[in-house]
Structures are given as structure tokens and as C-alpha cells.
Structure 1
Amino acid sequence: MGHSIAKVCVLGAGTMGAGIAAQVANAGVPVLLLDRTTDGPDRSIIARSALERLGKAEPAAFMSKAAARLVEVGNFDDDLGRVAECDWVIEAIVEKIEAKHALYARLEDVRRAGTAVSSNTSTIPLERLIEGRSEAFAQDFLITHFFNPPRYMRLIEVVSGARSNPDLVAAVSAFADQRLGKSVVACKDRPGFIANRVGTFWLQSAVNAAFDLGLSVEDADAIAGKPMGVPKTGIFGLVDLVGLDLMPYLKASLTASLPKDDPYQAIARDEPLILKMIADGYTGRKGKGGFYRINREAGKVKEAIDLATGTYAKARKPMSIPAVAQKDLRALLALRGKAGAYAWAVLGPTLAYAAALVGEVADDVLAIDTAMKLGYNWKYGPFELIDRIGADEVAQRLEAEGHAVPPMLKLAAGRSFYRVEGGQRQFLGLDGEYHPVTRPEGVLLLEDVKAASKPLLKNGSAALWDIGDGVVCLEFTAKMNALDGEVMTLIAQSIALVQRHYKALVVYNEGSHFSAGANLGQALFALNIAAWGEVEKLVRGGQQAYKALKYAPFPVVAAPFGMALGGGCEIVLNSDAVQAHAETYIGLVECGVGLIPGWGGCGELIQRLSENPRLPKGPMPAVAKAFETISTATVAKSAAQAQEIGFLRPSDGITMNRDRLLADAKARALAMVEGYTPPERPLFRLPGAGGRAALDLAVQDFAAKGLATPYDTVVAGKLAHVLTGGDADMADGVSEAELLALEVEQFMALVRDVRTVARIETMLATGKPLRN
């Protein structure tokens, strides 16, 4: 393609610019972050302060300390010439056309020809941005609209102009996809592009309807949140999150740039209460509160505002939505009273608006659905929602209320927007024909495999799929991908099947998280009826299954993402190799519920740490580090950090784009097939009683400082017993089997303690650890 990107410059160190710079650095690419020049000894203080804030940001902007070191700061007057060192320049300054034009004029003089220049604008059309610029600048210019926060939001909207060099646009898009981990959606040069155009309309409709119907914010969020596949924040919680002050700004921008007959113009209105809230500093979570606030004077009480009176009161439990209506959109819309009326007032106009925009903002329904799912975290895109209700039903209801039925909705009459034909997912095009949903090269999704085939093996908690080229995929399917006896059974069956007919196995799924660990609810039930034998059977069964995977005569590659905790972490540790998504949050967290790792996690972590060149040699350093990591329930906040902590080896791979994880893991597994031999069983050199005494002293010191609770010291003592080798003769070393037996012994001692039961009960009830 001829356009490689080895260094990036970001102009503007505000929230978005700084966040974009951090994500470029997370990709391992050097980045120059510039902002305005100030008087005084440090002329780059604006950019430098932004970098300092990034280092303290929560959630973290950087994936590792190494990434933070890749950002260099400067200012527009002293350092703009260094743009010539960069292959992509991203402008992220204030949304004022005059300021952007002035900066572009200066850029023309310093950038290398052929260097990509893009704006992170969300409101200004591309054609206006390049007014007065040279033909060469126009050819190298595009819009790359990131979403906030840039590390965590997967969507990037890419807009190219009539004169943009298609090769350059393709190179930037490929970099954004493969290196920055973004899902690229090509948009037309229209106001608000896709996500903010539909999203602003949706939020405005929802806020208007809540005021008009006299609904409380709690009830509105309950109706227009989870049942619609919207994040649990709901409408008002989401506005609090992004900031109330953003709404009038987006409204002003869209009303000024959209045609007068656009449906948004008819619903755009300012609520006096919201304007007053903004004026008083109630701009949402970044301000004194918003529609919800935490009243610290009353002892951290969550309060909600009354939309009629503007007064705050303790947030109350919202109206009850029937179980069927929480899962079936048609049932939700059919509810009598305010619930059904509000659901339609939000969905009806929004879905009609999205349907009217096909061809206007994007070429197909797929782009609009992808933008809304990734830009606003919707579970289903607008056209997937229409399919769940029925296109005919939506059209009939719009018609009955005197609203125009968009041509795209009429086109779908009697059909759905999506279908699976011959194992291939297809979407309805503007031409009235179905077209295949195609994936970029290097993207393999389990949902596509599942549409085209049946599982090789399946039970209530797991399934095994053939993903081609002799590789199979083990998928967890229980809630939160929790692990239980059925998963262990399927692992055993899978190993036998792969041995006979396949080459390698990948552990992967497409849930929200890889696995939250063992099924605690099931464990608690067994503890409450004192079924100790069943608990021990589960622990031993897990050890056997995981070790059978580790020593199988074929490669096993784990592909974790999101949370990989407890038993979810242990299956990763027992795999031959790991291909982790960059956003993997991995840890052995059992001590938080009064337990210790029981499925081989102790030995596996010691082994990894003993191979770590950063730690001194000898039995104690690896054991001390493992003890610290496990006893404090440390969770890595990224795959890069997991390598620093020791959960992942330096040789394990990291994939930035979630959609590329399965293909990368499969490729890694295939590369290991030829000449593969299982690992040798380790013999551990552990520090014994002397090492245990040192660990006990450290725990007592923590307890004396109030950093460890009384039961923490008990749990830590059991952990220390395992990690130091129990009562084994240190001269002979400790075999893996002996270490596993120690895990079972100490695990079973802890489950019999009522304080562990109390911790598990609290975790299940509140999601928070009990500090007993």
C-alpha cells in the first residue's frame, strides 16, 4: 500500500486528544502530543499536564508503564516542525472551524507530502474543513472520529472526501483496525456521521418523553435500559456519564447543520430544568451530580432528581417490568400504561429515524447497527431491534399514528433485515436484495461458525466447535462463563476427540467476559448442605481436566479477553500458549472469597515467575512474588500488565482488535502443530518452613498496619503452606502432583470455615468482598 505508520502526531491535548495519544502508545507506536504554547519556563505545560493526568486516569488510559514512555510532549510554536517525522497527524483541537483552519494552514508548511492528516471532529463536515487548502492537502485529509474514552470504545468512524487518496484512507483504516484495535465504520460526510446522529436523536426522544409522560428518571431508565439492550445506566444514567453539558452543544451543532425538514429539528428542545442543572454545576458524574447524585452529607446516599420539581430525593426502586417484557421487545411495547407508552416513544421514532438514514449516512444497515452497538454500547443495532419487533409491526404502528414510514422499512415488508441462508449471515440492501455479511481479512468470529455448523460436542456449560484447518474451539456458555463440573466433563471429551481427528484446540468464546471463574452459587449450595465430597470432587476434577489439557498431545492456546478470573485465569495458565486480547483483566482472586486457587494456579504462577529474568534466581523470589500476587487478589488491568505481573509469558501474544482474537489464536495454535511435544512435568524447588516463616512475618506486619483482616491472615497462612511446599522434604523438591494435593488439602480446610461461607455469600449478594 506504500503508507506505513511508524510515528503519529496528535494536535490537541484535551480529553480526546490525550486519550487518542495514549491508545497509539498502547499499540507500541511513538507519539508526539502537541498543544498551545504558554508563557513561562515550560512552554509545553498544557501537553505535559495532560500526560500527567493520563498517568493517573481512572479507568487507566495506558495499558502499561512502557506505553506511557512512548508519548513525547511539545507545543505548537516550538515543535510543529516535528510533524515531518510523523506518518499520521490527528487533529483533536476545539470544535471551531476557524481554529482548525488556522492550524491546517500552518500544517501545510511543515508536514511531508503523503502524510495522512485527519480530524477527530464529530460535527464539522469534511468539505468545510478543507476549504482553502491545497489539492495535495485535500488528498491526504480524512476524518477519524474516535469515541471517548479512546482506549475502551471500539468504534472509529472514518469519513473520506471526494478528493481523499483511497490508498491513504485504507492505510489509516488498517492501522486503526489492526494496531489500535478499532472497528472501522465508513461513514458519509453528513452532520453527526452515524452514531451521534442516531444517538443524539435517541437520547433527545427519550428525555422528551420522560418529561412529557411525567415519568421518574428511575422508571425511565428501567424501561429504556436493559429490556432494550441498552447499558444498565439507561437513558439518564448515560447522559450523566457523558455529561449534561454535551446535550445542548450537540443540539446546537445538529440543528445548525441538518436540513430544516430533518425529523431531529422537530424534537430538538431545551428543558429549562436541564439548563438550570448545567448552570448550577450539575453536569453529571464529572460535576456535582446530574439526574443522579451521591449525597455524601447523608452518608453516600444515591439520590435522583424529580423531573417535575427539580428536587432530589433518595433514589427509589423503579417500577417492576414483567420478566417476559424484559426479554421480549414486543411484550415491552404491549405493556399498558406509562411503561409501554414510554418504550414506544423512545423506540418508535428512533428506529424510524435510523431506517430513514440508510443511504444518507451509510451505504447499508450493517454500518448503522455496528456504529450504534460500538459507539453507544447497544446490545442490538436499530435494524436488529426492528427484526426483534417485526418490520411490519413497526411500519403499521408508525402509519397508524400518522408518521411517515421510511422507504427502507417498506422495503423490508414481510421480511427481516438479517437472515441466515446456507450458513451465511446476510443483510437486506437498499436494492431489496440480501447480501452476505463479509468480514475483513484476518477476522474469524465464532458467531459465523455457529451460523454455519453444529457443535461437535455440547452440554449445559460448554460446547466444542470446528473452526477449520484441523483446529477446534472450546467455548464456555454458562452465565458469566462460570466454570463447573460440566465444563470439566466437556474438556475430557474434547481431548479424546481432538486426539483422534484434529490438530489443536483453542479456548475462546464471544461472551462479555472470558470467564469469571468457578460457579460460586453452585459451590455455596454444596457448602450449605455440607456436601464436602462434592466440593472435593469438583476441585480434583478441575485439576485433572486442566492438567489433561496441559499435557495433551496437541497444542492448546487460550484466547482470553475481558475478565479471566480465578478458574478462568487457571485455564489460561495451564495452556501451552496464550493469545490475549489487549483488554484482558486476569487474576487469581480466590483469596477475596476466603479460598485459594485449587485448579493448579499456584504451581503454574510459580513456574512462570521462576522463568522470569527480572526476578532473582533461587526458590524464594518466585514464591514471594506469587504469594503477594495471589494473597492480594491482584488483577492485571491489561494483557500488557499481565505480562509485567507474570500471568502471561513474554512470548504470549497480544491482539489489539477483539474481532481478530480467534483468528490470531488459531494461527498461533497451527504454528505449534509441527513437531509438537507436550511440556515436561516440573519439579518445584520451594523454600519450605523457613520461607513460610518469612511469609507469615510479612502477613503479621500487614495485619499490624490494619491492611489485613483477621481472616485474611488465616487464608494467607493456608496459601503460604501450599506455595512453600507444605511439609515436604525440600532436598527432594516437590512434584506437580504433590503441589496439587496440597492445593486440595488447604482448599478443603478453608471451605469448612464459616468465615469463607460468609465471604462467598456476601460476594454473591453484593458483588463486593467481605472484609471479615
Structure 2
Amino acid sequence: MSGIGKVAVIGAGVMGAGIAAQVANAGVPVVLLDIVKEGAASRSAIAEGAVAALLKADPAPFMSRAAAKLVATGNIEDDLGLLADCDWIVEAVVERLDVKQALYRKIEGVRKAGSVVSSNTSTIPLASLISGLPETFARDFCITHFFNPPRYMRLLEVVKGELTRPEAIALVSRFADAALGKSVITPKDRPGFIANRLGVFWIQCAVIEAIEQGLEVEEADAVIGKPMGIPKTGVFGLIDLVGLDLMPHVMDSMIGLLPPEDPLHAIHRPQPLIERMIADGYTGRKGKGGFYRLNRAGGGKVKEAISLVTGEYRPQRKADLEALATTRGDLKALLAHPDPAGRYALRVLGQTLAYAAALVPEAADDVAAVDEAMRLGYNWKWGPFELIDQLGAPWLAEHLAAEGLPVPPLLTLAGDRKFYRIEAGRRQYLGTDGAYHDLVRPEGVLLLADLKLDRQPVLKNGSAALWDIGDGVACFEFTSKMNALDPDTMALLGKSIKTVAKQFKALVIYNEGSNFSAGANLGLAIFAANIAAWTEIEQLVAAGQETYRALKYAPFPVVGAPSGLALGGGCEILLHCDAVQAHAETYVGLVECGVGLVPAWGGCKEMLSRWSAPGRLPKGPMPAVAKVFETVSTATVAKSAAEAKELLFLRPSDGITMNRYRLLADAKAKALELARDYTPPEPVDLTLPGESGKVGMQMAAEGFHRRGIATTHDLVVAGALATVLSGNGADVTKPVTEEEVLEVERAQFMRLIRYPATLARIESILETGKPLRN
């Protein structure tokens, strides 16, 4: 796999252990070493304890418990010999140059020739790290800066030195891309590289401006959040997440490394409030609280925020800002608004975008690298230069000058041009030479967004589209909000099946939204139920069943390519595909019971079929039925594609793609492979346990009810699910057809949708996003 068959990580702290876990998630053996803990029963207690902690952590660093078995633990006194057959050795120890260099000398004595050694540092220059070390070591050395948590953060900054072999950088980059799922950028060896250099400036600027302008934390986070495409944590919520005590260390490090003329110096000053909070143990979520806290005094749970004005905690309140209310998401209007919130937005974003422009080419070769760094390293929706394009470079330059701030040369170079443009169906960026250059994707990357630049959809309506992605393969894309499935989705899917049968070899179901599909559009369901449009609801259920069956038995192969949430109907469409190529971070589940319903687009029959396969479970109808009942009644959601395989939401033969950018290309390749000699599947009859099995499942549910685990309405829903899975009184000696199971699914769904308790659950999900326990 990309030339790397075994990896070592030295340093079993949060980052080192997380890196080791992600290597194991890729199916690659990894050695995790740390120092010997004095007085511990085991000399490798630190590394062993780190793996144990990883298995308990939430969100989980491991994609499956099986991955943990690929991590071998040890210590650097007894087990350095384990590095001898490692292709890549990652150092993630304390940020002290003397400690790192002493370790490197030990590594040099045991590693094999040509193995790559890298440091996870972002605060010590690469030239300092290799100073005084042999040239043989320097040629194989680089910096690989991961972001925390390593499983979920997709950015990796790879920094080379003057002596680093190009082959070493290529080896690590290929592996990080394809196996670890990282988007690799190659910043220059400058303090903080790209993401943290800009991120630290942005955070410091936002904090200083909020304090000095008298804003409260809720107001600052409301401004520096959704309007700018920044996660809802804003700035102060983000600081709470990473830890207040980390801020002074990072700032001191950056200030010590950057030249006096760097703009970070101009916004660096003591922050007595933060110093006091740290001293009092208010270090964020890992401490007693931070800028936000949950006050449990007197047995209560009161959400509080600290006042930046008084320095005292008070009940948290909603930000009520005229600037946000009147500008309604118009970023330029927000920055031009005269009230304090508008001025705050302009001061923070203006200085941040100016700083980003000053980093090219000083820290990054091009604007695309900076944008990718902030999108994937800080979860910004738009990179800095994409934001500048929204505002216009001349507009930003004018407002910077009005604020007495310097205008970076790159803004002057751009003039009235955008940093990104579409030319002849190609996405291009503006270079520092003043010319536009094609944005070149790595080999094996195929994005639907790029394909759309030079073509029109084959079919399209308000909820979905069908695209020609080349080589005889079509792509069906959900386009509704949260990619929820509605009558228009089903109508276009049905039409697409007929079109693909005539014009294409295969079909891929894929989209580039944050989530594959959150399931059926519950808003439409609750509206129809409130006006007693039962016939229309049943028609939608029947249409979904018929369309999914047509998909399953189509005369061409169908490959599902999910990423993110694939719930309810989104899960059911995957169950009807010939194969699935899933992004590693795919979260699949039949969650209908949580809203008082049962799966009714064939999910029950498909799960029964999978668990009933020969050799899967002990013989007889009940083991498979009991397993499906357990999974579906509890609305279990797989927390990774690997876990989805264990639950049989995915087949053992289904593929997993680690890098989100490579998902469509991998799915297309799988579809073409299946198309070579494709034959549609044959219908499978099921052997179901009938009334005795139904009673057994109901008794299990009643046991949970007596223990207080299941609610009263849970019993009703469980009874309906038991009716479906048992075959509604089926004769255990007589096979049950797919059509018969679908009929029972539909009938039980229609029975449950009429319950007020079910409607209350649906309303709760729509209004709060949380399930109602009634």
C-alpha cells in the first residue's frame, strides 16, 4: 500500500496515539512507543494505557475495535529494535529540541536504510531539528503535521528540508492521501506553517477585538460563525474545545519565532481575564468550564457564559444583534454595518484576510493551499481567498486602508480580478505571477463539482439530478436539503433507472454534501399526517418500495457511494445497491424506530436477507430475526464504514475509501468492474418464525420496559417491528416472498404514522434534532 507496510509512532500522548490509531484504521500494523514510566507494573504502561484510553474515547479514534489489534505497544528503552522493519517512523514527543534530537540519534542507530522519519511538530523549524545530525538522516527526514483528532481532521501539512529526498516526501504523501485519508499540502518551513500560522492570528485577533470593543462571547461567536462559514463554536467556543491553557504557549512560541514586523506582534498583549481563568482551573471543556460552562450548583444545570466586560459568569443568552438581523447572511453588508457587531466583523475578518494574503508566497506557494488549510484544518466552509472573492479584492483593500491597515501586495496584484475563476470548464486560481493556473487534482481524484463545470445534467428536478461521469457510467445525485428523500427524488430515480438502462453501463449513487442522506423528508410526512392525507403517505411509501426494488433488479450494476450520515431511507437505498464503496467516515443506520416508525422501503427485508445468508448465524429462522430486531429496534447507527460491515449495513465485500476526494473515482471503478459481466440478482425468499417469533421479540421488549430502558411507545413500535420481522403470522415451513414482507412493512408503517406519540416524536426531531422519549 503506497510503499509503506509498517509504521512506528514514538510518543503516546493524545496526538501520537491518535496518529497510531489512524494508521491502524488503514489496516497497517503500527508500533506505539513511549518512555518507561517509573514505578509502573509494566515498562510499557504509557503506550498500553494510551491504547486502552483510545478504546474508551468518544468520538472514537478507532474505526473498529479490530483496528486496535494492529497496534503493538512498547517503550523506547527496550523496544527500539521494533523500528528496524518500519517504513515510516513518526516522532510525536514533547516540544523540546534537545529531547527530539536525542531520540533521533537513537532512531538513526536502528532504522533501516531509506525509512522515512518525521516529526509532528509545528513550532520547531525543520532546520533546527536536523542540525548536527548525519546527512543520511536529514535526507530521510521531514515534518508531518497532523491535526487533532487525527482520525477526523483531514488536513496534513508535509514540510521538507533542503536535504530531504523528493522520494521520501512522495512516499509519505501517497500513503497519507490514499491510506490515511488526508489532503496533503506542502507549506514552506515557516513558523506555524499555514493553518496554525493563520489560525492563531485569527483567534488572537477575534479575542482581542471582542474584549477591546466590549462585546460578549455570545455576540462574538454569533458574528464570527455562520455568517463567515465558520463552525458554530465561533472563536470562544473553539478555544474552550482546544483548551484555554494552550493559548499562551502557542502564542509565546509564535511570537518568539516570527520577526518583529509580523502583524501578530501588533495584536499580542496580556489578557488578564484569560490568565485568571487558567489560574482558577477554567481551562475549557477539559476543566471546570471556560468561556462557557454548565453550572451544576444546587443540583441544577444552568448554561452560563463569562462576561468579557465584568469577568463574571452569568446565564448564557442569545446574541440579539441588529447587524445580524438586518444583513441576513450578506457578508459584505455585515462588514459594512455601522453598529459594534459590524465593526467587529470588519476588524477581525479584514485583518485575518489581509494576513492570509501576506502568507503567499512567504509561507505557501499559492492561494489554493491556504484555502485548503483553513477548510480542512479549521473546518471553514470557505477558505480566506474564497471569502475575498465574495467581498471583492478592491472592496477589501479600500476598507483595510480606511482602517489604517496595510494592504498586502497580493490584493493589489489581483486588482478587480477574482482569485478563482472558471475557464473552458476548468477551475483556475490566480498565481503570484499575476496569471491564472489550472487547479490540478491528484491522480485518482474525481469530483462531481469539477465535472459540472462543463456539462449539463442528463435529468434533473428540484430534489435530484442524473449526471454523465464518463466511460458509460451515470451518477445519481440527491440535491435537497440534508439530501432528504421525497416524492421528487423517487420520481427522478425511477426515470433515471429507465434512462441508464438505455444509455449507460452502470449507475453510481453519490453526492458531495456533508451527508449522503438523512432519510425521508419528515417535514412532508408530518404535514401530510396533520391533514390526514393518509392515502398520499401510503403512496409515497409504496413508491419508495417500488423504486428501490426496480433499482435492485435493474439490468445494470448500481454502486452506492456514501459519506457522512446515511440514515433511514438513505441506508435503505444502499441496501438495494449491488455494491457499496463507502467513505470511511460513513455513519449508517435504520433509525425509523427512534421516530416511532419502522423501515418501510425494504430495509427490513434486506437486513433479514443478509443475516439469513448460509453460514452467517446458527441455523433456523430465529437467530437472524433476533439480530435484525436488536439492531433496528434500538435505531443502531454504525460509527464508521468498518463498523457498518460488522452490522451488515455493508457487505463484507463492499469497499472502503479513506480519502473523501477519491470516493467517486473508486465507486466508478467498482461500477465498471461489475458491468463487465453483469447479471441482476435473483429474488430471495425468507424463512420467518411466525407468531412464536413475534411473541419472543415482544417479550424481550417488555423486559426492557420493566427495567425502564424502553418507553411505553417503544413497546408499540417494537410490536410493529416484530410483526414485520416474524412475517405477520407466517408459517415457519413456508417461505415468505419479498413482496409479502414489503406489504407488511407498509401496513405497519401506516399503522404507526397515525399514533399521536409517533407524530410527537417526528415533531421533536424536526424542532430540536433530538429524539423524544415517550
Q: TM-score range by the shorter chain?
A: over 0.9
Q: Deviations over 1:369-395 (max 9, x none)?
A: 000000000000000000001111001
What CA distance in whole angstroms lies between the structure 2 residues aligned with 1:674 and 1:614? 29
- Whole-angstrom distance in 1 between the partners of 2:38 and 2:201: 43
Q: Indicate if the aligned counterparts of 1:118 and 1:144 stay in contact, CA closer than 8 A.
A: yes
Q: Which string of whole-angstrom CA distances, capped at 9 and with x for unpartnered residues, describes residues 281-315 of structure 1?
A: 11111111100001122622211000121111110
Q: How far off its partner does 1:111 sit?
A: 1.0
Cα drift, residue 731 of structure 1:
2.6
Matched to 1:54, the amino acid is L
How big is the shift at 1:228?
0.3
Check whether the contact 1:241–1:285 (CA below 8 A) recurs between aligned residues: yes
C-alpha separation in 2, matches of 1:4 and 1:444:
23
Which residue of 1 is the match for residue 296 of structure 2?
296
Contact 1:552 1:678 in 2 (8 A): yes
1:341 — aligned with what?
343
1:258 is aligned to 258
Q: Which of 456, 459, 463 is the aligned partner of 1:457? A: 459
Counterpart in the other structure of 1:656:
658
Q: Which residue of 1 aligns with 2:681?
A: 679
What corresponds to 2:50 in structure 1?
A: 50
1:233-312 pair list within 5 angstroms: 233-297=233-297, 299-312=300-313
1:564-605 CA deviation, whole Å, 9 max, x = no partner? 000110001111100001011100000000000010000011
What amino acid maps onto 2:655 in structure 1? G
Runs of 5+ consecutive residues of structure 2 not aligned to the other structure: none
CA distance in 2, matches of 1:245, 1:84: 38
Q: Which residue of structure 2 aligns with residue 69 of structure 1?
A: 69
Is 1:34 the equivalent of 2:33? Answer: yes
Aligned partners of 1:144 and 1:156 also within 8 Å: yes
Query: Structure 1 counterpart of 2:218, which letter?
Result: E
Cα distance in 1, alignment partners of residues 617 and 438 from structure 2: 52
Q: CA deviation at 1:39?
A: 3.3
Amino acid at match of 2:320: M
SS at match of 1:769: coil
**Cα gap change, 1:741 to 1:118, in 2 (>3 Å):** same
Query: Residue 120 of structure 2 aligns with which residue?
Result: 120
Identify which of 701, 709, 728 aligns with 1:699: 701
Superimposed CA distance per residue, residues 310-347 of structure 1 (whole angstroms, 9 cap, x where no aligned partner): 11111001124546734321111122211110110110
Q: Distance in 1 between matches of 2:307 and 2:761?
A: 37
One-letter amino acid of the counterpart of residue 271, structure 2: E
- Within a 5 Å distance, the mapping from 1:411-422 to structure 2 comes to 411-422=413-424
- Partners of 1:8 and 1:276 in 2: CA distance: 42
| Mean Cα deviation higher: 418-427 or 616-625 | 616-625
Q: Which whole-Å CA distance do the structure 1 matches of 2:328 and 2:30 have between them?
A: 46
- Please list, as runs of the form range in 1=range in 2, the aligned pairs for 1:365-376 lying within 5 A after superposition: 365-376=367-378
2:135 is matched with which residue?
Answer: 135
CA drift at 1:530: 0.8
Q: How does 1:686-765 map to 2 (within 5 A)?
A: 686-765=688-767
Q: Equivalent residue for 1:543? A: 545
Please say if residues 227 and 325 of structure 1, whose CA atoms lie closer than 8 Å, have aligned partners that are also in contact.
no
| TM-score scaled by length of structure 1 | 0.99
User: Is 1:16 aligned with 2:15?
Assistant: yes
- Kept in 2: contact 1:97–1:129 (CA 8 A): yes
Q: 2:329 aligns with which of 327, 330, 339?
A: 327
Q: Which amino acid aligns with 1:690?
A: S
What residue is the counterpart of 1:481 in the other structure?
483
Q: Tell me how far apart the structure 2 counterparts of residues 604 and 356 of structure 1 sit (CA, whole Å).
A: 56
- Deviation of the 1:270 alpha carbon: 2.5
**Do 1:248 and 1:270's aligned partners in 2 also have CA atoms closer than 8 Å?**
no
In 2, the alpha carbon distance for the partners of 1:325 and 1:420 equals 29
Is residue 691–residue 730 contact of structure 2 (8 Å, CA) maintained in 1? no
One-letter code aligned to 2:602 = G
Q: Give, as a single letter, the amino acid of the residue that structure 2 aligns with 1:83.
A: L
Kept in 2: contact 1:3–1:168 (CA 8 A): no
- SS at 2:53's partner residue? helix
State the AA in 1 paired with 2:32.
Answer: L
Q: What letter is aligned with 2:87?
A: D
Q: Post-superposition shift, 1:399? A: 1.8
Distance 1:406 1:29 in 2: 45
Task: Give the deviation of 1:674 after TM superposition.
Answer: 1.6
What CA distance in whole angstroms lies between the structure 1 residues aligned with 2:106 and 2:88? 16
Cα contact 1:224–1:343 (8 A) shared by 2: yes
Residue 598 of structure 1 is matched in structure 2 by 600
Q: Separation in 2 of the partners of 1:623 and 1:82?
A: 47
* Letter of the structure 2 residue corresponding to residue 590 of structure 1: E
- List aligned pairs for 1:359-370, cutoff 5 A: 359-370=361-372
- Look up the SS of the partner of 1:419 in the other structure: strand
CA distance in 1, matches of 2:23, 2:325: 44
Return the alpha-carbon distance in structure 1 between the equivalents of residues 105 and 225 of structure 2: 45
- Residues in 2 aligned to 1:465 and 1:243: alpha-carbon distance in whole angstroms: 45
State the secondary structure of the residue aligned to 1:474.
Answer: strand
> CA separation of 1:312/1:95 partners in 2, compared to 1, >3 Å: closer, same or farther?
same
Return the alpha-carbon distance in structure 2 between the equivalents of residues 39 and 305 of structure 1.
41
The equivalent residue for 2:474 is 472
CA, structure 1 residues 508+761, in 2 after alignment: closer, same or farther (shift >3 Å)?
A: same
1:229 counterpart = 2:218 = no
Amino acid at match of 1:115: S
Question: Quick one: distance in 2 between partners of 1:328 and 1:421?
Answer: 27
Tell me if the contact between 2:223 and 2:324 (Cα under 8 Å) persists in the aligned partners: no
Spell out, residue by residue over 1:115-135, the C-alpha distance to the aligned partner (whole angstroms, 9 max, x if none).
100000011111110011100
One-letter code aligned to 1:438 = V
The 5-angstrom pairing of residues 553-592 of structure 1 reads 553-592=555-594
Matches of 1:213 and 1:466 in 2, distance apart?
A: 53
RMSD: 1.2
Q: Is the Cα contact below 8 Å between 2:688 and 2:731 reproduced in 1?
A: no
8 Å contact from structure 2 (residues 689, 730) kept in 1: no
Contiguous gaps of at least 5 residues in structure 1: none
Q: How far apart, CA to CA, are the structure 2 residues paired with 1:324 and 1:175?
A: 48
Partner of 1:110: 110
Contact 2:217 2:236 in 1 (8 A): yes
- Counterpart of 1:490 in structure 2 is 492
Q: Which residue of 1 aligns with 2:218?
A: 218
Residues in 1 aligned to 2:532 and 2:270: alpha-carbon distance in whole angstroms: 61
Q: Secondary structure at 1:259's aligned position in 2?
A: coil
Q: For 1:219-256, what per-residue CA distance to the aligned partner results, in whole angstroms no more than 9, with x for missing partners?
A: 10111100000001111111111111111111011000
Q: How far, CA to CA, are the matches of 2:473 and 2:325 in structure 1?
A: 40
- For 2:456 and 2:330, the matched residues in 1 are separated by 26
How far apart are the structure 1 equivalents of 2:244 and 2:324?
Answer: 31
Report % sequence identity: 64
Partner residue in 1 for 2:502: 500
The corresponding residue for 1:191 is 191
2:346 maps to a residue whose letter is W
Please tell me whether the aligned partners of residues 2 and 174 of structure 2 are also in contact (alpha carbons under 8 angstroms).
no
Is residue 177–residue 184 contact of structure 2 (8 Å, CA) maintained in 1? Answer: yes
Conserved? CA contact 1:596–1:719, under 8 Å: yes
Give the TM-score normalised by the residue count of structure 2: 0.98
Secondary structure in 2 aligned to 1:438?
coil
Say if 2:689 and 2:731, in contact at 8 Å, map to a contact too.
no
Distance 2:106 2:249 in 1: 28
Q: What's the secondary structure of 1:145's corresponding residue?
A: strand
Contact kept, 8 Å, 1:204 with 1:268, in 2: the verdict is: yes
SS at structure 2 position matched to 1:734: coil
Which letter does structure 1 place at the counterpart of 2:129?
L
Preserved contact between residue 37 and residue 76 of structure 1 (Cα < 8 Å): yes
Give 1:531's aligned residue.
533
Q: SS at the partner of 2:102?
A: helix
